[in-house]
Structure 1
Amino acid sequence: MRWFWAVLLFGVVVGFLIGYQIARQGKTHSPAEFSLPAIAAPGRTSALLSEAFVKVAKEAEASVVHITTTAPVPEEYRLFREFFFGERMPERVPANYGSGFLFRSEGFVLTNFHVVQGSDTMRVGLDEKTELPARLIGYDQLLDVAVLKIKAGNRTFKALPLGDSDKLEKGEWVIAIGNPFGLDKTVTVGVVSAKSREFEEINGRPAVTSYIQTDAAINPGNSGGPLLNLNGEVVGINTFILGQGGNIGIGFALPINEVKRILDRLMKGGPITRGALGVSLIDANSQEAKEAGIQANEGAVIVRMAINSPAYLAGLRPGDVVVKFNGVPVKDSSHLRRLVLQQPGGAVVEIEALRDSKRLKFNVTLGSR
């Protein structure tokens, strides 16, 4: 009898499964069950993106300026040319040209310092027909940024809002506007190719910060112009490119947050000083450090210093491994240099260092550069 009940149970189960499959195949599905996620038509998406570019360009155009400068010809050179060659040399000659943008309605302009460096007169072009004189207010040579003031009495101007460069994402659309090769208010579009791109030095000066990399076309004359997000906010100042002569799709912009940190100091006028520690450094995890008996994965090793340097006067010595700067863990020698340069000259900072396996703290009054 046991086998009889086993066969009967097996038959019931098989019958149930066959019936379920037949019923499932015969069911009428509603269109909703087969619907795909809604995707915007490619043409409409392109149109919306194009509209965003056009809107930003139109809104920003009036605030983007071109900058021309002149520099004095040394009197000795003018006299030399006149005496030996009979040439009448002008007292001033064209120096640099570039771009900038109004960031305050009273006529204050942000640009790169290298656009106005070495010049004695500056003119700001609002368009191809209107140029106004300007004067240099404040500058930071290492960060390569300067503030100009247009000489226009009580006239007001349309200013661009400053955004938050920390919120930028790789792949985000950006727009560059400037004066490449003297072509006023040229608009180019690209994406953020990379964030926090670091360099040891730029054009012979130590790099104070990291940069935004973009493939938006940047050419000679774009320097000082704004890099904008699709909200029309300035997220960077177009500063330099890789390669010689023109755009190869690798341009770099100074993050606007770095400028905002020192903007009050720039507005007070004159040059901005940067901190100096007065030491030579190597990475704590370098082969040279290991050969010297340093056992550390992170930090910067002091290898040389002047007797009267800020570091020496505070008690630091060669062989010390700097592991913290004002509470920030130090990754390597480049990181420490940048942390020092981000401080103003004369600032008092706390440095934590390892010496003979002991952790020591020092209060250092930074020098200036």
Structure 2
Amino acid sequence: MGGKNGPVGARSALGYAKTLTILALGAVLLAGSLPAAAQSQRITPQSREQISLSFAPVVRQTTPAVVNIYTKKRVREQAALSPLLNDPFFRQFFGDRLPQGQTRERVQNSLGSGVILRPDGLIVTNFHVIKDADEISVVLSDRREFDAKVLRSDERVDLAVLKIDAGREQLPTLPLADSDQLQVGDLVLAIGNPFGVGQTVTQGIVSALARTNAGITDYNFFIQTDAAINPGNSGGALVTMDGRLAGINTAIYSRSGGSIGIGFAIPANMVRTVLSDDAARNGKIVRAWFGGSGQPVTPEVAASLGLPRPAGVLIAEVHPDSPAAQAGIRSGDVITAINGNEVPDPEALRFRIATLPIGETATFTVMRRGQPITTAAKLIAPPETPKREATVLKGQQPLAGATVANLSPALVEELGIPGPSRGVILLDIAARSPAARVGFQQGDVLQQVNNTPIASVTDAVAALGRGQSWRISIKRGDEVLTDTFSQR
């Protein structure tokens, strides 16, 4: 299976990709090559002459805006004096007293692709292309090279915005398409630098839309294409036949690390959100907050609710101060669409909210007791209420060494965790601390101590500071775990 950085095993079989170049011929109908009546609709080739048409015009139009990205990362590693010193037989006698080799610095090089979206040198690429890089270089299609700096990044959607300084020159750009207008079967081109061979173009179709089970980022909602995408294509362009950016090529499904015709791209409508100066705060992207969570509608759930088909999100919890509450949405409702776009599952719900700007009014289509209703609410930024009050727990008690904080919508969004936005979360566990030794983990949510509900950091400190035995309940993922600890 391929992962973000190549073949890694059986979990997701997803290999991060980069863009491509093979000048392709095929069944495409380019504007200007057909009568005006045919240019406004999608049609299949009708003759041998139409099949012989070339992609060259759209390639000439779009490739100057696709760039190569080279990064350098300096890492320090320690060389052992002898392989024998790593042998467990010798270490059982000498342990940490064995001599160590000298620490040396090594430079890791990697490459990817990017897309110029503004003429002043604003470039979008994948976050994983530039992650932890000490130096970033951008090479234009005319081979000019520039140093780049990171303006903002969003690891949760695997996107980053770079800036190069080309002086007063207006660089070529790609306009953003409305990715919601794509249809399965549309022709697309993938442009990038696979395996470092140079700028390459490959051709394919949109194989699927709204892929939400890819397991690539926190916001799973991808365009799938069979256009060949390989390592080095990450951050490159998926282009429509009218020369617009449909998405940023991000990953492949592969058992060998190479393309087998299943590639994934982040939709242009998500790319648009990282470009918004209004959404960027301290170099990070702040997304709109909905305030409701739920589960997919299974066939069994659909039958019990009298729904015609299993689609939508069955709402389980609504934050009382959220836009969802303002819209009148409540537990038991099924959200089926936002602004007219279908919402088949919770991943799609999160994507639709994430691509809407803060301050916009969203319209929700809801099924309630088998009847459709429409409601609306103004989206807001997730509030940090209550304040997190991060505190290191101390003393003779089982959670000593854990850093806890009050959950809030802002902290839940920052951490990218599912579930409720209220309670007390374990932000960090110090190594070799009592909390680490007894098995507490980062991300656990403290529920009760000695049958007392824990709603705040103040509650936690007070409850843990009393007595010499503690019955503690925590929520870990979908499970609630309870154990009893005694002071020794």
With the length of structure 1 as denominator, give the TM-score of the two structures: 0.67
CA distance in 2, matches of 1:312, 1:57: 44
Match of 2:351 in 1: 338
CA distance in 1, matches of 2:159, 2:116: 14
**Alpha-carbon contact 2:122-2:162 (below 8 Å) kept:** yes
After superposition, the Cα gap between the structure-2 partners of 1:121 and 1:310, relative to the gap in structure 1 and judged at 3 Å, is farther
**Structure with a larger share of its residues in helix:** 1
Match of 1:45 in 2: 50
After superposition, the Cα gap between the structure-2 partners of 1:219 and 1:81, relative to the gap in structure 1 and judged at 3 Å, is same
Q: Does residue 255 in structure 1 map to residue 267 in structure 2? A: yes
Residue in structure 1 matching 2:284, options 266, 271, 291: 271
Match of 2:399 in 1: none
Q: CA deviation at 1:65?
A: 0.8
After superposition, the Cα gap between the structure-2 partners of 1:265 and 1:325, relative to the gap in structure 1 and judged at 3 Å, is farther
SS at match of 2:277: helix
Q: Does residue 158 in structure 1 map to residue 172 in structure 2? A: yes
Count of equivalent residues: 316
CA distance in 2, matches of 1:121, 1:72: 9
Quote the RMSD (CA, aligned, Å).
Answer: 4.2
CA distance in 1, matches of 2:153, 2:72: 18
Q: Does residue 93 in structure 1 map to residue 95 in structure 2? A: no
Deviations along 1:209-231, whole A, 9 cap, x unmatched?
342x2221111111111122333
**Gapped regions of structure 2 (runs ≥ 5):** 1-44, 82-98, 383-408, 414-488
Match of 2:30 in 1: none
Deviations along 1:306-342, whole A, 9 cap, x unmatched?
x999699989999543547877686554443434444
Residue in structure 2 matching 1:125, options 135, 139, 163: 139
CA distance in 2, matches of 1:309, 1:346: 15
Q: Does residue 108 in structure 1 map to residue 122 in structure 2? A: yes
1:46-195 residue pairs with structure 2 within 5 A? 46-47=51-52, 49-50=53-54, 53-73=55-75, 78=77, 84-90=100-106, 92-94=107-109, 96-127=110-141, 129-194=143-208
**Alpha-carbon contact 2:190-2:249 (below 8 Å) kept:** yes
CA distance in 2, matches of 1:283, 1:321: 12
**Alpha-carbon contact 1:127-1:184 (below 8 Å) kept:** no
Match of 2:243 in 1: 232
CA distance in 2, matches of 1:113, 1:256: 15
Q: Give the counterpart letter for 1:57 in structure 2.
A: V
**Alpha-carbon contact 1:325-1:349 (below 8 Å) kept:** no
Q: CA deviation at 1:241?
A: 1.4
**Alpha-carbon contact 1:137-1:266 (below 8 Å) kept:** no
**Alpha-carbon contact 2:71-2:135 (below 8 Å) kept:** yes
**Alpha-carbon contact 2:288-2:353 (below 8 Å) kept:** yes
Q: Does residue 223 in structure 1 map to residue 234 in structure 2? A: yes
After superposition, the Cα gap between the structure-2 partners of 1:111 and 1:335, relative to the gap in structure 1 and judged at 3 Å, is closer
SS at match of 1:115: helix
Q: CA deviation at 1:289?
A: 8.7
SS at match of 2:100: helix
CA distance in 2, matches of 1:326, 1:237: 24
With the length of structure 2 as denominator, give the TM-score of the two structures: 0.53
Bigger Rg over Cα:
1
Identity across the alignment (%): 33
Structure 1 stretch 308-317 or stretch 170-179: which is displaced more? 308-317
After superposition, the Cα gap between the structure-2 partners of 1:316 and 1:170, relative to the gap in structure 1 and judged at 3 Å, is closer
Match of 1:15 in 2: none
CA distance in 1, matches of 2:294, 2:338: 18
SS at match of 1:228: strand
CA distance in 1, matches of 2:233, 2:278: 22
Deviations along 1:92-136, whole A, 9 cap, x unmatched?
533x42101212221111212221223232111125853211011
